[in-house]
A = this chain, B = another copy of it.
Amino acid sequence: MYIAEEPFWDRTLRLIREIWPLGEQNELKDKIHVDLPDSDLNVLRRAISACLGGRGGEVSARSRAAELGRAYLVLGADGRFKFLQLLAREYDVDNVAVEKAIEARNSITSPLELQAANQKLRLLLDPPRARLFQQFNELKEGVKFLVDLRAELIPWSRKDNELKALDQDVHRLLVSWFDIGFLDLRRITWDTPAAILEKLIKYESVHEISSWADMKNRLREDRRCYAFFHPRMPDEPLIFVEVALVSGISDNVQELLDVHAPIEDPLKSDTAIFYSISNCQKGLAGVSFGNFLIKRVVADLTAKLPNLKNFSTLSPIPGFLTWLRGQDESFDLGNKERELWESVQSADDPIEVLSRMVESSGEDDGASNAETLKNLLLTLCARYLALAKRGDQAYDRVAHFHLSNGAQIERINWGANQTQAGMEQSAGIMVNYLYKLSQIEKNHEMYRGRGEITLSSHVKKLLK
């Protein structure tokens, strides 16, 4: 073994030999955290160079990269940080070589030579460490390795520009590996392996799955769940969506999640409600699947359930109250609503006051007050969704996602999510984004091109 004499390698190789044959015992692996003392960095440099040096052929470069990858896996967080920092600092683009290539390119006139020069330049602009990341693919779980590596790298990269550049290299590689054309769409049912359902329970980020009974209820006959998988990470969902098959567009998420709700005949349902979409892999931040997922699920549902006419979401409005807290202007409101709005402005935290009113609104007898409160908040929410922008984009990130995909804002629903989270984000209000198949392309282009948002007449009325 070419570096057998070194202490760091000695340790890691011994560990690898002991641990790897156990196979699935990830728990054991997870408990090992070897240090990487600075005195061993030279050993690491030599190992990296052996992969990148190119003296050996592809096969042995890959074998060495796999060994390097396994060494990375037995390091503790400190060691991994040092490892990545080394890659970030010492295996970046060689700017001297780049400048020479630029100089050479400047004196070229023939188109053919220019093409060659361009290609050479592009190769030089690809940092050597990017090649190493590609080679880690030799590891049996090489794809997952890189996804997990990036999940750890992202927080570090926020505070370190070199690591940020490193992260961009990994991101670029993952974008190519996770091209939508390579992914499998799988339907998730109660017959799906428990190990995968356990992951859905863990990854669900919109409406928490509180138990296995809750999970089972979301997979019953009038529900659907789909996830994307990568062929080399067959046990790891990348993103999943939960759908309810109902009659008419739902306005209340508690009803959808109620385990006691009667089961409908899905062949008679006219509406598919996408009530939850969750990304699963932190390491795939910035690699987008959601739009393709919705498109493919709509296609699959349409083929299997010809009665379906409406495809709509029932979505949270995560930024509403936060945004509202920052507004001090006097909105264009009806009399009663303006009065109510102005009456709370004097409070330390007017939004807090409004929230408390919403929470107690069912209890008191002032029905007309409750109506005013509802009118006020629905109006303000419509404004938020339809008019609040960052540049040309909707301010609300969920709104931006669905509008980019070609949906329209269909309806704003009072009392739609009365959980604590729902109350804190949006005073219990939720919104339906409607995917009208014939309008998707047009909506999409208007929104992306000019920031124009398509609104239903219901929402337009709220804005008047």
Contacts and interface: CB of A to CB of B under 8 A. Distances in A.
B28 A137 contact: no
Interface string A175-186: 010011110000
Given A126-B122, A181-B137, A221-B25, A59 B291 contact: yes
A195 interface: yes
Nearest to A116: B165
A180 B212 contact: no
A295 B60 CA distance: 10
A173 to B, nearest CB: 9
A369 interface: no
A180 B62 contact: yes
A254 interface: no
Nearest to A1: B441
A192 B193 contact: yes
A22 B441 contact: no
Contact of A182 (B21, B180, B181, B231): B231
A444 B292 contact: no
9 contacts: A24-B221, A25-B221, A59-B291, A93-B118, A142-B181, A143-B181, A192-B193, A193-B193, A212-B212
Which 7 residue pairs of A and B lie closest in terms of their CB atoms, listed nearest first?
A137-B181, A122-B125, A231-B231, A191-B193, A194-B194, A190-B195, A59-B291
Given A98-B118, A122-B122, 20 more contacts: A22-B265, A25-B263, A27-B263, A56-B444, A57-B404, A57-B448, A58-B288, A58-B291, A59-B291, A62-B292, A95-B118, A112-B161, A115-B165, A125-B125, A137-B182, A142-B181, A191-B193, A191-B195, A194-B215, A212-B212
Interface of A: 21-22, 24-25, 27-28, 55-60, 62, 92-93, 95, 98, 102, 105-106, 112, 114-115, 118-119, 121-122, 125-126, 134, 137-139, 142-143, 161, 165, 168, 176, 179-182, 190-195, 197-198, 212, 215-216, 221, 231-232, 235, 263, 265, 267, 288, 291-292, 295, 404-406, 441, 444-445, 448-449
